[in-house]
Amino acid sequence: MTMEALSNKPAPTRHDLEQAAVEFFDRMAKDVDQPRQLSIDHFDEDIEFNVEESRRRMAEIDQQLVRSEFDGVILRRATELIASVGNEFGELPLDLRRVALQLTARAERAQLDRLIHLLKKPASSFHSTDELFQVHRLQEHPTLSVFQPIVTGVTLNQAIAGHVEWMTSRGLGHSQLEEFARVMRWMLEQVGEDRLLASISKEQLRGFRDDICRLTTKMQGKSSSFQQRLTKDPERRIKSDTAIRYWNYAKTLFSHATEEGLIPSDPAAGLNIARRKGEQKRTPEPFSQGELQHLFVTPLFAGCHSVHRPRQPGDCHRRDGRWWSVVLLMHTGLRAGELAQLVPEDFDFSDPIPHLKVRLEDGSGKRVKTTKNDASVRDIPILPQLIKLGLREFVNARAKAKTARVFVEFRLGEGRSSDGMTKFWTPYLRAFGLWKEGRATHVWRHTVAANLRSHGVADEDIGALFGHSPQTVTGGYGGAHPLSRKLKTVKQLDYGFDVVAALGGPYQKALHG
């Protein structure tokens, strides 16, 4: 049926509008097929420009189809389409107007898809992905439905899942993946789980970024919605560094999606978070010699009431997991989460250089642990003073008791293995005047690093001990530093006093349990 025949009808049917849209597409397609004047000197650039502009417009149309909200271009062309069948747009029932707008948007999108095809693959046949504009199918199915507009592209949920796979392939650890997932849950709350990635605008991301900066510190660790976590009080907001880290997860998602061709342009590009004026980058202040000596005269080390009341003075000198957690951290540079996951089989006291292993597997070879990244998997020498203090006896006792982990005193947090240790040590340090901003468990890595650096140890050797990735290409050659070199590194630790004596002397089974 031609447009001329359709124009004699008093009121169009949905099928009439479908056929009119097909002819509308054919007319636009003929315009696309006309020869184009492209610069010989910039031919490839002009092709890419036309392709990118077409993709950008297609993404806009996808957004409009999802929202059922159309711009002036679509409205004007829908008015022309309705006029071609002898009617005025404003006189049609609301449902037919909506159909006309959807059909017009789909026709323009199909035309742009055809243009991209002609620019990229001019020698091959074009087949529209939209069934409405596959004419032979239209003849077979003359009542093709138009009430479910065809929209293409991945959803935000799908993009997030793909990005997690990409992050995992790069060796990112569980804690980073969990933090990424947390930020993505917040974004999904804001824009909707089934939202097309291409339909998310710069304005929406700007709002999400600004909300991240308004997150409160008072809701951390609690199960609350994103909106419930926001505060108007600047004094209660998270630090700029934390906000920047959260926002960078979102930026990386959209940047990677653009590189992979999932979206034509990056809506997060150029949206950054500036550090608030007067706010310094927060790093825990290392323990001083005096603070360490003060720590070792507190009840847990000098004698507590019992293992269940470690802050109260008494005659209990048992060297349990809480006691050993600090002693190991200050002599190894371990992350608290790494220490919390250790199993008895991770300790090798029979090797010429006794050491412990940070690895992903348990004693049976089953992968049950997590690390921050690939470089975190490493061996760390055990200093002689740790043997003297009874580390072998402590680990063997845990193995004999068949505990799942060595440090069973600390529960493993959801996505953050150090949570149990943090919840014990933060109030403990506060109770004895040793807490400062940022101090909990990670302060021990800063303390070890500062001590080694003060004794002339190179950052390369500190990084090998700590499980940091090499910062240069050459640094990645030749494999990990041997245990003998790491042993020389840890032997440089000197806290300025006799640590064994300060901790109560060598291990005694009757006294230390």
Do 135 and 160 fall into the same domain?
A: no
Q: Is residue 268 part of a domain?
A: no
Last residue of a domain, one of 243, 259, 275: 259
Residue 113 banded pLDDT, cuts 50, 70, 90 = confident
Query: Among 58-67, 83-92, 278-287, which stretch is predicted with the lowest mean pLDDT?
Result: 278-287
State what percent of residues in the chain have pLDDT above 90.
Answer: 39
**Residue 203, SS3?**
helix
Look-up: residue for tokens 């976590």? 229
In terms of pTM, does the model score above 0.75? no
Q: Is residue 407 part of a domain?
A: yes
Q: Is residue 424 part of a domain?
A: yes
Give the domain extent around 124.
Answer: 3-140
Higher pLDDT, 5 or 457: 457
Q: Does residue 1 surpass a pLDDT of 50?
A: no
Do 306 and 335 fall into the same domain?
A: yes
Of 321, 315, 288, the residue nearest 302 (C-alpha):
315
Do 132 and 162 fall into the same domain?
A: no
Give the per-residue pLDDT at 319: 96
Query: Among 27-36, 263-272, 339-348, 377-386, which stretch is predicted with the lowest mean pLDDT?
Result: 27-36
- Distance between the two ends of the chain, CA-based, in angstroms? 95
Give the per-residue pLDDT at 148: 34
Do 211 and 97 fall into the same domain?
A: no
Q: Print burial letters for 195-234: b (CB count within 10 Å at least 16), e (below 16).
A: bbbbbbeeeebeebbebbbbbbeebeeeeeebeebbbeee
Q: Is residue 266 part of a domain?
A: no
Q: Where are the beta strands (DSSP E) in 359-453?
A: 378-381
Q: Is residue 243 part of a domain?
A: yes
Q: Is residue 184 part of a domain?
A: yes
Give the per-residue pLDDT at 7: 43
Tokens of 4: 């001329």
Do 345 and 228 fall into the same domain?
A: no
pLDDT in tens, 144-163: 333 233 344 688 988 998 88
Query: Which of 193-197, 233-237, 308-312 is modeled with the greatest confidence?
Result: 308-312
Within 13 Å and on the Cβ side, how many CA atoms surround 269? 10
> What residue spans of 308-357 are helical by DSSP H?
321-332, 336-340
pLDDT in tens, 281-333: 567 889 999 999 999 999 999 999 998 999 999 999 999 999 999 999 999 99
Residue 461 banded pLDDT, cuts 50, 70, 90 = very high
Q: Does residue 141 surpass a pLDDT of 50?
A: no
Do 113 and 213 fall into the same domain?
A: no
Last residue of a domain, one of 73, 106, 140: 140
Q: Does residue 35 surpass a pLDDT of 80?
A: no
Higher pLDDT, 176 or 69: 69
State what percent of residues in the chain have pLDDT above 70.
Answer: 84
Give the per-residue pLDDT at 41: 54
Do 300 and 445 fall into the same domain?
A: yes
Q: Is residue 269 part of a domain?
A: no
Residue 363: CATH number of its domain: 1.10.443
Distance, in Å, from the CA atom of 467 to the CA atom of 377, rounded to the nearest integer, reads 7
Q: Does residue 207 surpass a pLDDT of 70?
A: yes
Domain count, the chain: 3
Q: Is residue 178 part of a domain?
A: yes
- Identify how many contiguous H helices and E strands the chain contains and give both numbers: 22, 5
Higher pLDDT, 30 or 468: 468
Give the per-residue pLDDT at 31: 63
